[in-house]
Amino acid sequence: MMIIALALASYALITLLAAPQVLTRGGWRIFRPRLCLTLWYSIFLTGVLAAAGSGGIGIWLGWRIQAEQPSYGADLLATTFGFRSTPGLDTVVRVTGIVLGWTTLAVAGALISLVATRARELIGDQRRLRADLDALVARSGYRRELVDGLPVTYIAGRNSIACSLGGLGDGVIVSAAIDLALTAGERRAIIEHERAHLLRRHLIFSRLAVLNRACFPGVRAARELTRATALLIELIADDAAARRCGRTEMISALTKLGADGQNATLSLRAERLALAA
């Protein structure tokens, strides 16, 4: 069990250090966004599970060392690493095991408390944002339509805004700036982009990334996961919209929306689609 705990802890540490180095380099991630997102979250979730498993085993071993005979810890260590137990080793191992077990338990409790606190704060922020969006729709909505079963509400506004409201039943909001600037085909491409976010549950990935960064703002892997998630889900939705409405319509829509220079990534996303044609 001790070797398993060490192996799990080593894997968790390797994922923490290696993921930003491997998954943020090369052009492949731009043209294979689904693969890159899958790798990011596979590494992230398995790393979390490995860390939790290692901590759980550490707590269990600490309890066993404390509860069993005084020689249990020394015998366990000797059996695991293949050397003979020496006089006095049992006391050292017993004290060390108890300290490590209680320390691991304290760290686990602190992490659970941190995650719960940050999650509660983020849930509150999401509820306030949803209330603001609902108020905006009620106040400024001027047209509603169904696009292949997806409710779309158009709202008055000079800024180019298109976003989903959370679930397929809630639909999408599109600002008047987009409604007036784009052709029907281009506007449909933007709507299909938002549908892709809803169908693929991209909001879950975004919330996980934001929660992870809120808990560990100083960790590079947490920052890179947030940045990668924000970019990759947009690229995945671009590809889905291009397949459904045609690459030309999606490129044209992104180019027009990015023409004002307020969001440089829109033009870059259009160039990416053109290169992938």
CA distance 120 to 115: 8
Pairing label, strands 150-155, 162-164 = unpaired
pLDDT, mean over the chain:
86
Confidence at residue 260, expressed as pLDDT on a 0 to 100 scale: 77
CA distance 252 to 245: 12
CA distance 227 to 209: 9
Residue 273, SS3? helix
Confidence at residue 139, expressed as pLDDT on a 0 to 100 scale: 92
Confidence at residue 58, expressed as pLDDT on a 0 to 100 scale: 78
Binned average pLDDT, 10 residues per bin, the chain of 277 residues: 82 88 86 94 94 86 65 55 55 70 86 94 92 90 92 92 79 93 96 95 94 93 94 96 95 91 87 88
Q: Closest Cα partner for 178 from 162, 199, 164?
A: 162
